[in-house]
Amino acid sequence: MTSTAPLQDPGSLAADKAVDQAVDHATDHATEGHGDFRLFGLATFLVADGMTFAGFFAAYLTFRAVNPLQEGSTYELELLLPTINTVLLIISSFTFHRAGKECRGGNLAATRLWLAITGGLGVAFLAGQMIEYFSLPFGLTDNLFASTFYALTGFHGLHVTLGVICIAIVALQARKGGRISASDHFGLEAAELYWHFVDGIWVVLYGILYLL
Amino acid sequence: MCTVPIRTVLTVITATTALVLTGLWVGYNVNMLPLDASSNAPTYDALFKVLFSIGMVLFLGIVILLVYSLFRFRRRSGDLSDGLAIEGNLPLEIVWTAIPAIVVLFVGIYSYDIYERMGGMVALNDHSAMAHTAMDHSAMDHSGMASGEVSQARVWGGIGGAGMDAAPTGAVLPVEVTAMQFAFIFHYPDANITSGELHVPTGQPVELHMEARDVIHAFWVPQFRLKQDVIPGQPTVLSFTATKAGSYPIVCAELCGPYHGGMRSTVVVHEPEAYATWLQQNSPASTTT
Amino acid sequence: MTLANPSDFNGNLQPQGWLRYFSFSLDHKVIGLQYLVCGFIFYLIGGALAGAIRTELATPLSDFMPRDTYNEVLTLHGTVMIFLWIVPVVNGAFGNYLIPFYVGARDMAFPRLNAVAFWLIPPAGILLISSYFIAGAAAQSGWTAYPPLSLTTPAAGQVVWILSVLLLGGSSIFGGINFIATILKLRRPGLKLMQLPMYCWAMLGTSILVVLSTPVLAGTLILLSFDIIAHTGFFNPALGGNVVVYQHLFWFYSHPAVYIMVLPAFGLVSEILPVHARKPLFGYTTMVYSIMAIVFLGLIVWAHHMFTSGTPPWMRLFFTIATSFIAVPTGIKFFNWLATLWGGKIALNSAMLFSCAFIVNFVFGGITGVALAQVPFDIHVHDTYFVVGHFHYIVYGGTVFVIFASLYHWYPKFTGRMLNEDLGRLHFLLTFIGFNLCFAPQHWLGLNGMPRRVAEYDPTFTTLNQVSSVGALLMAISTIPLLINVVVTALNGKVAGDNPWNALTPEWLTSSPPPVENWIGEAPLVTEPYGYGQHQDQPQEVQA
Ligand code: HEA
Ligand code: HEA
Ligand code: CUA
Ligand SMILES: [Cu+2]
């Protein structure tokens, strides 16, 4: 597992651990295990990813503020389905959290169950999104709002799809003798962090696109 | 810090004074700009001289200091020792944080003032002259702009009319400018003239209402020190008062395609009487009657 | 928790010898050199394109190449130089080579990601250049790709351009994540943040900018490609879109990008000056704060590229003030460098010559930058050769000069051999003269009425354009002594020894070139990377 992780000199690492904790008053903490900075790296990536969304949001809000609404276009959208979708996604964050807890507790069967529920909720979300797409009265190139709507929700949907795939992989790995266990569950934590991120983005998106 | 000998202090003061004087001399005596042919060109040139002087002082100062230390503190051959272990000096660092801060603050406020005088800070969308031409946009409605109707309502930027107070010789002369690949077309709504060249009188404020048909262009007259993008779907405005008769180039300054470099025109600035003659000769009314 | 055995990390799995430079190596030193050489090849390509530009501009008529080819050439020149030369080299090459040494690690935090980030670059570059041949026409709307022009020029070339820039942006983001994780999380136990060499801080700041701004460019280009391919109307006014929104999004990346190009150069200079002046870096703490101030300010000044784009007055005012204030932290750095030299024992070798010329050039470009930041000033010179002069003074006179300085400084570390000083000085002289001849006259041209991105111009500007072209020719010639130097010394140059400069930063405390995992045995704990003149027991002191 550590072949991708850089080496710290075995001798110095153990010896300096104590020194490190005593001496290092800097903002970060000493690397406890390798999972630590991998999650950190993922978090950095999510900041970057979040900036892509931020760019889209900014573009949408600017269009809305300065471009007059085109003929035949409206900012009013059907709310029922997206609201249900929002609830599903928020619930899925909790179910994923539960899966993580079970995993740390060593209960792999329960982990898999909760992961399956989470993945199911994700698929339900995507299905809801599809239904919405097909029932909307406008298509991608109809007007500026329509294009922006599809770009935003589509890009987010892509993230959800990726998340569902990750969940499936993690669920597979969480069987006995798989790569994920109570003591070593970086994959699961990473997928969880990512999933929470995708949820958070959706909440913002829902607020801006549907409620505003 | 060790005590500073009087002689050093004197040298520093003399050198700084000499530097500042040189910078000012260069800034005010080396001319880098073309003829100034609009009422805000002299305003611009005043700003330029200030910026040029400050820049000269800073640049020369730093270069002299650098070259001096390279010479003075060069390593003699055979000397393998280190320099002094000085790691910092708080008062000094405060000084060289404060000086640039004061300089840029001054420059910022001064250029704001200049910009204000040029009319750049005028709120464009409640300008009375604007309302007049916004309704009178008939020429542009036929130009094929898909978003023509929506965009008429709002002006997006540029330089408004405040800079014209200095020259209240007459009413504002509105001209509609259409830019396209690869030409400017000027339309005089009051006289109903359409022309490929811009003709304006000296002393009268001119207000250009600009919109592009295809891609972004930019209207630039170097002798006026003015430039404004001409944007499809987003009308912009540019006001100026020409002061010196003559012909000056109008340059397209925004990459707009292969012939961008050839997208040029001329602004002919007439004395008011000559301008009246030009109007007479070119207005369709005079030719049909 | 097991730690892998050092020998199976890189040792056995990776090819050895020169072949490893063509492999998916995970060694940060190999990757660093891959970036360097690859970037340099693209520099030659970008320079050849610049040569074509200057040839065309040697006469006022458009007679050397067709007009649309000229636009392709300048678009490729800008894109290649920025995305394939400057950014990969100051970040990727030196960052990968030096950062692990500086934090006392054996490699970057994510070696595999690191290799992926590098290997995105050659295909992206080849794609970009070959678009001229495979797509029939390369992109021709400038490196800024403003719509609607970019929507109306030949679509295939523009799409390839977008694809290539997206790949390069991805590479840049991966690199940035890796640097942040390495600097913050992989430091040798006992090493504090405020003891890191300045280049680490510069790379940390740069990487923050990369992570925050590059994704916005990616998003924007994706929207642009929708406009081209799927005929959406985000930026198409004919379909109700807004062209100025593109400009905001583009410059939200591309202004920070200029600091992505220059902050690492600042860092490298901060390493080179103390070594050859034999003095500690002056004002370490304020240097760190000014880097962070530049990062912060760099994120909120983008609209100074849009003063004539129809932005509202309050916005222009805000961006003028914010931009001007960047001069303050940048000035701090420059005065600190001067103070570093003051009272030193300065060796005027090639590395030092290039570094000092960097100071001169950058201050010039910075001052014209502050002038450009003033709205009324910019309204006259925006999109003219004054701007071209400004940024070449900074990107070439600043960053490229620093890359050359760094090459002379670290070449002994890379190869174990010294570069020849006489050839180095010749290289410096030709570059410095050629550079100033080429770009100084452009300021006057811009002020007097020559717009940029034109293949033909008013004949009154002929003489100065010819001076500029001669300067470009000199710059091209100046690469000859450099290339000879590198090739000849690599074969039989003077052997450098481990630490030819008697430097104190950690990369010198190992052999030259360093072993696969940087140090045999434990990584040294360097808490005073600039402790010159402090240790009286140093051997050189005894000699003096
Ligand atoms: C590495 C690249 C780099 C860097 C570091 C900079 C640095 C700066 N740039 Fe530049 N710039 C570019 C690359 C760069 N630029 C490019 C590529 C373009 C053109 C893009 C295009 O359109 O294609 C451009 C264009 C550009 C414009 C737009 C011009 C136009 O299109 O109309 C402006 C306007 O404000 C500007 C300003 C500045 C400023 C204020 C700085 C400041 O950071 C400079 C600060 C430094 C100093 C000031 C010197 C040191 C300071 C002192 C010695 C202290 C004392 C000084 C004073 C008190 C003034 N730049
Ligand atoms: C970022 C870095 C960078 C660098 C290093 C350079 C380097 C150079 N640039 Fe560039 N330039 C840009 C970035 C850069 N430029 C950008 C961003 C633009 C704007 C583009 C746009 O408007 O969209 C621009 C635009 C630009 C223009 C304006 C074009 C126009 O607006 O019409 C000009 C004109 O003189 C120019 C000239 C040069 C020259 C002479 C060099 C020289 O310094 C180059 C010196 C190097 C060499 C001469 C290489 C020598 C080697 C050979 C010749 C051998 C080649 C052999 C083989 C390939 C086999 N550049
Ligand atoms: Cu029109 Cu350039
Ligand atoms: Cu900028």
d(CA C358, CA C333): 13
Q: Look up residue C189 and give its two tokens.
A: 């136990």
Ligand nearest, relative to CA of residue C396: 2
CATH label of the domain that carries residue A106: 1.20.120.80
- ipTM, two decimals: 0.89
The dihedral sign for the CA sequence C333, C334, C340, C345 = positive
Residue C61 is part of which domain span?
26-508
Residues with Cβ within 8 Å of C268's Cβ and at least 6 positions away in sequence, in order, are C90, C94, C199, C202, C402, C403, C405, C406
Query: Which pLDDT band, with edges at 50, 70 and 90, does B146 fall under?
Result: very low
d(CA C435, CA C397): 7
pLDDT at A21 over 50: no
Identify the pLDDT of residue C495.
Answer: 86
Instruction: Report if residue C482 sits inside a domain.
Output: yes
CB A39 within 8 A of CB A170: no
User: What helix, strand, coil percent values describe chain B, rounded to 5?
Assistant: 45, 25, 30
DSSP E strand boundaries for C204-329: none
What is the per-residue DSSP string for B177-216?
EEEETTEEEEEETTTTEEESSEEEETTSEEEEEEEESSS-
Calculate the average pLDDT of chain B. 82
The model's pLDDT over C30-80, given as tens digits with 9 standing for 90+, comes to 999 999 999 999 999 999 999 999 999 999 988 889 888 999 999 999 999
Name every chain B residue with its beta carbon within 8 A of the beta carbon of C371.
51, 55
Distance from CA of A55 to the nearest CA of B (A): 22
Instruction: Report if residue A28 sits inside a domain.
Output: no
Identify the pLDDT of residue B79.
Answer: 77
Name every chain C residue with its beta carbon within 8 A of the beta carbon of A3.
4, 8-9
Query: Which domains are delineated in chain B?
Result: 6-70+93-117 (no CATH), 127-288 (2.60.40.420)
What is the per-residue DSSP string for C24-69?
----HHHHHHHHHHHHHHHHHHHHHHHHHHHHHTTSSSS-SS-HHH
Instruction: Give the residue from chain A lying closest to B152, CA to CA.
Output: A68
Q: Look up residue C201 and give its two tokens.
A: 């801080």
Do you know the residue count of chain A? 212
CB C370 within 8 A of CB C324: yes
What does residue C195 show for φ and ψ, rounded to 5 degrees? -105, 0
d(CA B76, CA C186): 41
Long-range contacts of C476-482 (CB under 8 A, 24+ apart): C476/C47, C476/C51, C476/C434, C477/C430, C477/C434, C478/C427, C478/C430, C478/C431, C478/C434, C479/C44, C479/C47, C481/C423, C481/C424, C481/C426, C481/C427, C481/C430, C482/C404, C482/C423, C482/C427
Q: Look up residue C2 and give its two tokens.
A: 């097991």
Q: Where are the alpha helices (DSSP H) in chain A?
A: 10-23, 34-66, 80-104, 108-135, 144-173, 186-205
Q: Does C71 touch chain B (CB under 8 A)?
A: yes
In ligand 2, the atom with minimum distance to the C-alpha of C452 is 31
| Cis status of the peptide bond prior to B182, with omega within 30 of 0 | yes
Q: Look up residue B271 and give its two tokens.
A: 């004395």
- Collapsing DSSP states into helix, strand and coil, what is residue B249? strand
Q: Whose CA is nearest to atom 29 of ligand 2?
A: C453
Instruction: Report if residue C498 sits inside a domain.
Output: yes
Cα–Cα distances in angstroms (integers) from residue C4 to residues A10, C9, C426, in the given order: 9, 7, 48
Q: How far is CA C542 from the centre of its chain?
A: 40
What is the per-residue DSSP string for C375-426?
HHHHHHHTTBHHHHHHHHHHIIIIIIHHHHHHHHHHHHHHHSBPPPHHHHHH
Instruction: Report if residue C538 sits inside a domain.
Output: no
Query: CA torsion, points B249, B254, B258, B262, in degrees to nearest 10?
Result: 0
Name every chain C residue with its beta carbon within 8 A of the beta carbon of B220.
383, 451
Identify the residues whose C-beta falls under 6 Å from ligand 1. B 58, 62, 100, 103-104; C 144, 258-259, 261-262, 304-305, 323, 326-327, 330-331, 334, 363, 366-367, 369-370, 372-373, 378, 382-383, 387, 390-391, 394-395, 398-399
d(CA A48, CA A43): 9
The model's pLDDT over A68-107, given as tens digits with 9 standing for 90+, comes to 777 777 777 888 898 999 999 999 999 999 998 888 888 8
Count the neighbouring beta carbons within 10 Å of the beta carbon of residue A78: 12
| Cis status of the peptide bond prior to B42, with omega within 30 of 0 | no
Q: Look up residue C383 and give its two tokens.
A: 């999109």
Cα–Cα distances in angstroms (integers) from residue C248 to residues A170, C82, C152, C251, C309, in the given order: 40, 19, 20, 5, 10
pLDDT at A4 over 50: no
The model's pLDDT over C414-457, given as tens digits with 9 standing for 90+, comes to 988 999 999 999 999 999 999 999 999 999 999 999 999 999 99
- Does residue A106 come out as left (phi exceeding 0), alpha (psi in the -120 to 50 range) or beta? left
Q: Do C176 and A48 touch (CB under 8 A)?
A: yes
Identify the pLDDT of residue C46.
Answer: 95
DSSP letter assigned to residue C302: G
CB C424 within 8 A of CB C488: no
The model's pLDDT over B86-113, given as tens digits with 9 standing for 90+, comes to 778 888 889 889 999 999 999 999 988 8
User: What helix, strand, coil percent values describe chain C, rounded to 5?
Assistant: 70, 0, 30
Q: Does B51 touch chain C (CB under 8 A)?
A: yes
Identify the pLDDT of residue B122.
Answer: 75
Q: Does B153 touch chain A (CB under 8 A)?
A: yes
What is the per-residue DSSP string for A6-18?
PP--HHHHHHHHH
Instruction: Report if residue A32 sits inside a domain.
Output: no
Q: Which residues pair with B74 in a beta bridge?
A: C346
Calculate the average pLDDT of chain A. 80
Instruction: Give the residue from chain B lying closest to A68, CA to CA.
Output: B150
Residue A130 is part of which domain span?
50-211
CB A60 within 8 A of CB A210: no
| Cis status of the peptide bond prior to B168, with omega within 30 of 0 | no
Instruction: Report if residue A14 sits inside a domain.
Output: no
Q: Does B149 touch chain A (CB under 8 A)?
A: no
Distance from CA of A206 to the nearest CA of C (A): 19
Q: Which amino acid is at C316?
A: R
Q: Do A23 and C112 touch (CB under 8 A)?
A: no
d(CA C110, CA A4): 7
d(CA C148, CA C233): 10
Instruction: Report if residue A27 sits inside a domain.
Output: no
For tokens 């703490």, name the residue.
Answer: C285
For tokens 């950014």, name the residue.
Answer: C87
CB C107 within 8 A of CB C95: no
CB A161 within 8 A of CB A210: no
The dihedral sign for the CA sequence C265, C266, C268, C274 = positive
- Does residue C231 come out as left (phi exceeding 0), alpha (psi in the -120 to 50 range) or beta? left
d(CA C465, CA B23): 27
Instruction: Report if residue C378 sits inside a domain.
Output: yes
Name every chain C residue with its beta carbon within 8 A of the beta carbon of A36.
185
Instruction: Report if residue A136 sits inside a domain.
Output: yes
Distance C541 CA to ligand 3 centre (A): 65
Number of H helices, E strands in chain C: 19, 0
Instruction: Give the residue from chain B lying closest to C273, CA to CA.
Output: B70
pLDDT at A15 over 50: no
The model's pLDDT over A37-78, given as tens digits with 9 standing for 90+, comes to 888 999 999 999 999 999 999 999 998 888 877 777 777 788
pLDDT at A14 over 60: no
Identify the pLDDT of residue B286.
Answer: 53
What does residue B28 show for φ and ψ, rounded to 5 degrees? -95, -10
- Number of folded domains in chain C? 1
Identify the pLDDT of residue B125.
Answer: 62
Identify the pLDDT of residue C355.
Answer: 95
Instruction: Report if residue C346 sits inside a domain.
Output: yes
In ligand 1, the atom with minimum distance to the C-alpha of B104 is 58
- Number of folded domains in chain A? 1
Ligand nearest, relative to CA of residue C323: 1
In ligand 2, the atom with minimum distance to the C-alpha of C435 is 43
Q: Which residues pair with C384 in a beta bridge?
A: C451
What does residue B212 show for φ and ψ, rounded to 5 degrees? -105, 155
CATH label of the domain that carries residue C397: 1.20.210.10
Instruction: Give the residue from chain A lying closest to B156, CA to CA.
Output: A66
Q: Which amino acid is at A211?
A: L
> Which is higher by pLDDT, B139 or B168?
B168
Q: Which residues pair with C466 in a beta bridge?
A: none
> Which is higher by pLDDT, B142 or C254?
C254
Closest among C271, C443, C437, C432 to C358, alpha carbons compared: C432
Q: Look up residue B100 and give its two tokens.
A: 């640039």
DSSP letter assigned to residue B254: S
* pTM as predicted: 0.91
Identify the pLDDT of residue C63.
Answer: 87
DSSP letter assigned to residue A183: S
Q: How confident is the prediction along chain C (544 residues), in pLDDT tens digits per residue?
A: 333 334 444 444 455 667 677 777 888 999 999 999 999 999 999 999 999 999 999 999 888 898 889 999 999 999 999 999 999 999 999 999 999 999 988 889 999 999 999 999 999 999 999 888 876 788 899 999 998 899 998 888 899 999 999 999 999 999 999 999 999 988 888 888 999 999 999 999 999 999 999 999 999 999 999 999 998 889 988 888 889 999 999 999 999 999 999 999 999 999 999 999 999 999 999 999 999 999 999 999 999 999 998 888 888 889 999 999 999 999 999 999 999 998 888 999 999 999 999 999 999 999 999 999 999 999 999 999 999 999 999 999 999 999 999 999 999 999 889 999 999 999 999 999 999 999 999 999 999 999 999 999 999 999 999 999 999 999 999 999 999 999 999 888 888 888 889 888 989 988 888 888 888 878 888 888 888 877 544 444 333 3
Q: How many CA atoms lie within 13 A of C447 on its CB side?
A: 24
Cα–Cα distances in angstroms (integers) from residue C514 to residues A127, C106, C178, C355, C473, in the given order: 55, 11, 21, 25, 38
In ligand 3, the atom with minimum distance to the C-alpha of B261 is 2
Instruction: Report if residue A153 sits inside a domain.
Output: yes
